[in-house]
Amino acid sequence: MAEVAGWGGALALLAGYTLLSLGRIPSGRGYQVFNLVGAAGLIVNGAVHGAWPSTILNVVWVAIGAVALARLRGGSGPDGVTGPDGVTGPDGTG
């Protein structure tokens, strides 16, 4: 189970980063979900194998992603600012 979680997490992180870098997805909700899922898988794998530096890094990674998703859900862009009409654009900007 830990191996599946670890490999799945690694693939999710790589997929999100690749898609973002190639311009296939914006740096918004989808990208943050890839990061959250990926880091969660690596937390499971790291904890089972006692890889505590990696586990702690991924706990922080999940926390950052959760805050980013909450801010996006709340209607504010990545910098916490909405557009002039109070609406955030599809790419997460004002």
Q: What is the 3-state secondary structure (H, E, C) of the chain?
A: CHHHHHHHHHHHHHHHHHHHHCCCCCCCHHHHHHHHHHHHHHHHHHHHCCCHHHHHHHHHHHHHHHHHHHHHHCCCCCCCCCCCCCCCCCCCCC
- CA neighbours within 13 Å on the CB side: how many for 80? 1
- In this predicted structure, the answer to whether residue 92 has a pLDDT above a threshold of 60 is no
**Residue 90: inside a domain:** no
* Residue-number span of the structural domain to which 58 is assigned: 2-73
pTM: 0.76
Q: Which of 59, 62, 77 is nearest to 32 (CA)?
A: 62
pLDDT tens figures, 19-68: 999 999 999 999 999 999 999 999 999 999 999 999 999 999 999 999 99
**Residue 78: inside a domain:** no
**Residue 60: inside a domain:** yes
**Residue 41: inside a domain:** yes
**Residue 37: inside a domain:** yes
CA gyration radius for the chain? Answer: 15
pLDDT-derived band at 90, boundaries 50, 70, 90: low
**Residue 63: inside a domain:** yes
How many structural domains comprise the chain? Answer: 1
pLDDT-derived band at 81, boundaries 50, 70, 90: very low
**Residue 47: inside a domain:** yes
**Residue 56: inside a domain:** yes
pLDDT-derived band at 89, boundaries 50, 70, 90: low
